[in-house]
Chains A and B, each alone.
Chain A
Amino acid sequence: MKPLSETVAIVGIGESKVGKVPEKSTLQLQSDAAYAALDDAGLTMQDIDGLITTPIRTEPWNMPCGVVASFLGVQPAYLSTLDLAGASGCAMIHHAAMAVASGQCNTVLCVAGQNLLTNKTRASAVQTMAESGAAHAQFETPYGPLVASNYALIAQRHMYEYGTTAAQMAEVAVTIRGHALLNPNAHMTKPITVQEVLDSPMITSPLKRFDCALVSDGAAAAIVTRADRARDLKQKPVRLLGQGYGLSHSYVGEAPRLTHSGAVESGRKAFAMAGVTHADIDVAQLYDCFTITVIVELEDLGFCKKGEGGAFVQGGRIALGGELPVTTHGGLLSACHPGLGGGFFHVLEGVRQLRGQAQGRQVKDAKLALVHGNGGTIAIHSTLILAA
Chain B
Amino acid sequence: MTALTPLPSPNPLTEPYWQAAHQRQLKLPRCEACTKFHFYPRSACPHCGCRNLSWHAVSGNGEVYSYTVVYRAPSKSFAPEVPYVVAVVALDEGPHLMTRLTQIAPDDVRIGLRVTVDFRRMDDETTLPLFRRAGWSL
Contacts and interface: CB of A to CB of B under 8 A. Distances in A.
Residues of A contacting B: mostly: mixed
A126 B70 CA distance: 13
A46 interface: no
Contacts of B71: 201-205
B81 A255 contact: no
Interface in A178-213: 201-207
B69 A141 contact: no
Interface stretch (A111-119, A145-153, A217-225, A302-310): A145-153
A40 B111 CA distance: 52
Name the residue in A127, A130, A142, A205 with the highest tally of chain B Cβ atoms < 10 Å from its Cβ: A142
B67 A153 contact: yes
Contact of B66 (A139, A143, A156): A156
Contacts of B6: 131, 141-142
A145 B72 CA distance: 10
A137 B6 CA distance: 9
B101 to A, nearest CB: 10
A283 interface: no
B137 interface: no
A204 B39 contact: no
A254 B90 CA distance: 10
Contacts of A138: 8-10, 14, 18
Contact of A146 (B5, B70, B96, B106): B70
Contacts of B111: 156-157, 160
A137 B96 CA distance: 16
Contacts of B106: 205
B100 A144 contact: yes
B75 A139 contact: no
A146 B72 contact: yes
B78 interface: yes
A142 B97 contact: no
A156 B97 contact: no
A62 B93 CA distance: 43
A207 B66 CA distance: 14
Nearest to A136: B40
Contacts of B39: 139, 253-254
Interface string A236-275: 0000000000000001111110100000000000000000
B11 to A, nearest CB: 8
Contacts of A153: 66-68, 86-88
A263 B14 CA distance: 30
B44 interface: no
A154 interface: yes
Contacts of B40: 136, 139, 251, 253-254
Contacts of A146: 70, 72-74
Interface string B84-95: 101110000001
Given A138-B9, A253-B39, A255-B96, 14 more contacts: A126-B74, A138-B18, A142-B7, A143-B100, A144-B73, A145-B86, A152-B68, A153-B68, A204-B68, A204-B86, A205-B106, A253-B40, A253-B88, A258-B66
